[in-house]
Amino acid sequence: MSAALNEWKVLPHGPLVNVADNIITAEGEVHMPVGNIHRRMTIVRLRDGRLVVWSAVSLGEDEMRSIERFGRPAFLIVPNPYHRMDAKAWKDRYPGMRVIAPEGAREKVAAAVPVDASNATFGDPDVNFITVPGTREQEAALEIINPNGVTLVLNDIIANIRDAHGFSGWMLKLMGFAGDEPHVPITIRMMLIENKKALAAQLLRWAGIPTLRRIIVSHGEIIGDDPRGVLRELAVQLGI
């Protein structure tokens, strides 16, 4: 786990990218013991213009102004105990944001930033917060319904880093964060998953969404090529 930061610190990152009319993301890098690892922030705009910020990353001032033009930061989602690095800095910058973390992550997240709730109803029927079954209530997800299909936002239960190289790349592949296809990382299986069958059943429920268009993950490329098939394959790998 990277240490929680007490101030706004801009680390290497890419540009904001439009994924859908109401979804933008930005990828950054964070140094871990195994080397640098990709991390992704996802921001969802609700119908009334409020923003749901998922796995916050502190960006430069130009990008932050773009985010503020996109909408008003209102919800700060810390999706598991290990994604709290920039949470305090965002809360300090936008004190009115409600901090949400799943119940099993609440204590560790609260060590970095006060948590307002372990669940969220955003007042928008198109955006749903979910605590992922089988993860000790430590991992969250978002379902976003758009006219052109459903977007699933996941955190650490699926990783899809494709450009890992060198010793750190080898380590990330060994841990299941990197490779030629999406994986459920081995470290996440050990740290977060207590019931593989319950998680696999949830993956199959998501795979059953006919209009599922993409899966946004916090580590690696967005899964847009047969996301339903990816979920089914990962469910099989978990033993269902």
Residue 221, domain CATH: 3.60.15.10
Residue 124: domain span? 17-237
Specify if 98 maps to a domain.
Answer: yes
DSSP run (H or E) holding 201: helix 196-207
Angle between helices 196-207 and 227-237 (to 10 degrees): 160
Specify if 40 maps to a domain.
Answer: yes
- What pLDDT sits at residue 170? 44
**pLDDT-based confidence at 185, cuts 50/70/90?**
confident
Specify if 4 maps to a domain.
Answer: no
Taking Cα atoms as reference points, which of 189, 183, 180 lies closest to residue 217?
183
Bigger pLDDT: 11 or 210?
A: 210
User: Is residue 201 packed enough to be buried (19+ CB in 10 Å), middle (13-18) or exposed (0-12)?
Assistant: middle
**pLDDT-based confidence at 167, cuts 50/70/90?**
very low
Whether 31 has a pLDDT exceeding 70, the answer reads no
CA distance 122 to 52: 9
- What pLDDT sits at residue 42? 98
State the total domains in the chain: 1
Distances (CA, A) of 188 to 61, 86, 155, 157, 214: 33, 21, 10, 7, 22
Specify if 11 maps to a domain.
Answer: no
- What pLDDT sits at residue 1? 47
- Is the pTM above the cut of 0.75? yes
- What pLDDT sits at residue 217? 96
Whether 163 has a pLDDT exceeding 50, the answer reads yes
Specify if 166 maps to a domain.
Answer: yes
Taking Cα atoms as reference points, which of 227, 233, 220, 237 lies closest to residue 169?
220
- What pLDDT sits at residue 4? 74
- Work out the average pLDDT over 123-133: 97
Specify if 208 maps to a domain.
Answer: yes
219 Cβ neighbours under 8 A, 6+ residues apart: 37, 38, 39, 40, 156, 159, 160, 161, 177
CA distance 156 to 24: 19
Residue 103, both tokens: 């119940």
Q: Percent of the chain having pLDDT more than 70?
A: 87
Specify if 229 maps to a domain.
Answer: yes
Whether 160 has a pLDDT exceeding 90, the answer reads no
Specify if 12 maps to a domain.
Answer: no
* Per-residue pLDDT tens digits for 133-155: 999 999 999 999 999 999 999 99
* Per-residue pLDDT tens digits for 82-109: 889 999 999 999 999 999 999 999 999 9
CA distance 204 to 18: 28
Lowest mean pLDDT among 85-94, 131-140, 185-194, 213-222: 185-194
- What pLDDT sits at residue 176? 56
Please identify which residue in the block is written with the tokens 């033009």: 69
- What pLDDT sits at residue 177? 63
Residues paired with residue 129 on neighbouring β-strands, in sequence order: 142
